[in-house]
Structure 1
Amino acid sequence: MVLIGLAGGLLSGLFAIGGGIIMVPLLTAFAKLNQRAAAATSLAAIVPTSIVGSITYVIAGEVDLVAAGFVSIGAVAGALLGSRFLKRIPLTWLRWLFIIFILLVAARLFLVTPERGQEVALSVSIAAAYIVLGLLMGVLSALFGIGGGIIAVPALIGVFAIGDLVAKGTSLLVMIPTSIVGTASNWRAGTVNVRAGLVLGLSATVASIPGAWLALILPPRVSSVLFGCLLIAVAAQLTYKAVTTQRVARR
């Protein structure tokens, strides 16, 4: 459990993805938690991890507080909407579209090196776009159990032309309210494994600090390629889930 938390925390600090993308499959495989309990417990562990990780980025001056505020508004609303959609809509076609989207983003990361130190002038349209990004981030996170950073970081870099470090710091900051809201909902539903969540949260929090500092010292090109590789791994995991789900449905 400690090793799972360390791995998730390191990825959370390095890529601002929350860490659930690696913690959930490891919890189901090695900690013998079912999918629902693993996702809920991982989300609970992300609360302290995102707080400590974002503080590291704030100290380094790599967070856009205004963008984080607007994205958080949309993300919290999107998470609530996504939890409702989860019970009502077929996810098969949406999952495959999401996989294609992730692969396209990964391809862009391999081809384009993000620039650092850029600033985006705030306007009404930019603020509205931030909220829409948050909605998309929250809905897809709830539907697929994927950390919102998978969507937020590439979007902030590619669409809003924000530097990669600021995108990561901002994404981690947004995860604080969204993970708290999600964990509160899971707590009421009784799906959080409290003991596992404490162990995961403590170890992930410890690992998130060196992960964040590593992100700060990595060259933009190396960071971009590593994040692209991670997205390919995420797409592979989602593809496996999609194929497995379709096979089970046919039986």
Structure 2
Amino acid sequence: MFDVILFFCGNVLLGAVLGAFGGLFGIGGGLIAIPVLGMLYGMDQQLAQGTALVMIAPNVLIGFWRYRQRNSLDLRAASVLGGSAVFVTYLSAWYATVISAGTLHFAFNLFMEVLGCYLLWNVLRRKSLKPARAPLGQRYLPVVGVVGGAVSGFFGVGGGVIAPPALVGFFGMTQTAAQGMALALVSPGAVIALFTYAYAGHVDWKIGIPLAIGGIFSVSAGVALAHKLPERRLRLCFSIALIVLAAWLLLRG
């Protein structure tokens, strides 16, 4: 009985750490959670992604609410992003459940490596991502929603990380507002993806539920930190962490 309690509390604590990262970087906690679950519990890629979604689904909803409290987020634009992502998220999540775990594992690690290098490049070039020309109109938002939804469904995460640069660079949003809108993009899709992975039997609820409980209590603190700490330094650390972790996982096979 003591071992069960210790196991539960340990996962709650892990979920709290990952939830704080998720609030801090928009959805960065999910990117870290998947390889951590694979390393700690020997989960294959599908099981790790499905179990991480148990934590991610409530965290992104809370995160969006907290970002909206601190930023003037356009709810109509948020609805467009989230709505345009739902169907393609389901399709890509379904496909991720039927391909081989090894193929998905390699693709996920390669995605992390490319994403980390891209984010690092954005940080190091020291230039604003805001366009010199007028921002694009909202009629182009579904493009961001579809791409973000496809990535989120296939990898369980990712749409919330690739969307902010596009929202800042092409739509003229501030970084924190873009992170909040990215959470709106992935929120409905995360729920759809979770049910898709669960239906395919790729969710460990005994681990996922305590992770979710821990994340629920910490994601708000992560959002608060995102509005206080130096953004450039945080993104530099996060980018390097992704590159190193992905490289280690790729070499490890």
**TM-score, L = length of structure 1:** 0.80
Change (3 A) 1:213 1:37: same
CA displacement, residues 141-168 of structure 1 (integer Å, 9 cap, x when unaligned): 3334433222012221223221011011
Equivalent position amino acid for 2:223 in 1: A
Q: Is the 8 A contact 1:78 1:134 kept in 2?
A: no
* Correspondence for 2:29 among 19, 23, 38: 19
Equivalent position amino acid for 2:65 in 1: I
Q: Which residue of 2 aligns with 1:78?
A: 88
Q: Does 1:40 align with 2:50?
A: yes
Change (3 A) 1:224 1:187: same
Equivalent position amino acid for 2:52 in 1: S
Q: Residues of 1 paired with 2:108 and 2:201: CA distance?
A: 28
Q: Which residue of 2 aligns with 1:151?
A: 162
CA displacement, residues 21-49 of structure 1 (integer Å, 9 cap, x when unaligned): 12112222223433322210111211111
SS for the counterpart of 2:203 is coil
Deviation at 1:227, TM superposition (A): 1.8
Q: Which residue of 1 aligns with 2:63?
A: 53
Q: Is the 8 A contact 1:24 1:42 kept in 2?
A: yes
CA RMSD of aligned residues (A): 3.0
Q: Which residue of 2 aligns with 1:190?
A: 201
Q: Which residue of 2 aligns with 1:142?
A: 153
Change (3 A) 1:73 1:228: farther
Q: Is the 8 A contact 2:51 2:203 kept in 1?
A: yes
Question: Structure 2 matches for 1:107-118, cutoff 5 A?
Answer: 107-112=121-126
Q: Is the 8 A contact 2:60 2:187 kept in 1?
A: yes
* Correspondence for 1:4 among 10, 14, 23: 14
Q: Does 1:207 align with 2:214?
A: no
Q: Residues of 2 paired with 1:75 and 1:237: CA distance?
A: 28
SS for the counterpart of 1:234 is helix
The number of residue pairs the alignment matches comes to 236
* Correspondence for 2:79 among 66, 69, 73: 69
Q: Is the 8 A contact 2:149 2:185 kept in 1?
A: no
CA displacement, residues 111-149 of structure 1 (integer Å, 9 cap, x when unaligned): 336599xxx8773xx422x21112211222333443322
Q: Residues of 2 paired with 1:96 and 1:188: CA distance?
A: 27
Deviation at 1:237, TM superposition (A): 3.1
Q: Does 1:104 align with 2:118?
A: yes
Deviation at 1:107, TM superposition (A): 1.6
Structure 2 unaligned regions, length at least 5: 1-10
**TM-score, L = length of structure 2:** 0.79
Deviation at 1:11, TM superposition (A): 1.0
Deviation at 1:240, TM superposition (A): 3.9
Q: Residues of 2 paired with 1:84 and 1:194: CA distance?
A: 19
Q: Residues of 1 paired with 2:60 and 2:178: CA distance?
A: 14
CA displacement, residues 81-116 of structure 1 (integer Å, 9 cap, x when unaligned): 423655679887997587445413322223336599
CA displacement, residues 157-185 of structure 1 (integer Å, 9 cap, x when unaligned): 22322101101111122221011000111
Q: Residues of 2 paired with 1:50 and 1:105: CA distance?
A: 21
Q: Residues of 1 paired with 2:139 and 2:31: CA distance?
A: 28
Change (3 A) 1:33 1:95: closer
CA displacement, residues 52-96 of structure 1 (integer Å, 9 cap, x when unaligned): 221111222343323322222332233234236556798879975
* Correspondence for 1:132 among 133, 140, 143: 143
Equivalent position amino acid for 2:204 in 1: N
Q: Residues of 1 paired with 2:112 and 2:29: CA distance?
A: 19
Deviates more, 1:105-114 or 1:158-167: 105-114
Question: Structure 2 matches for 1:220-239, cutoff 5 A?
Answer: 222-239=230-247
Q: Which residue of 2 aligns with 1:248?
A: none
Equivalent position amino acid for 2:123 in 1: L
Deviation at 1:211, TM superposition (A): 0.6
Q: Is the 8 A contact 2:17 2:218 kept in 1?
A: yes
Change (3 A) 1:135 1:241: farther
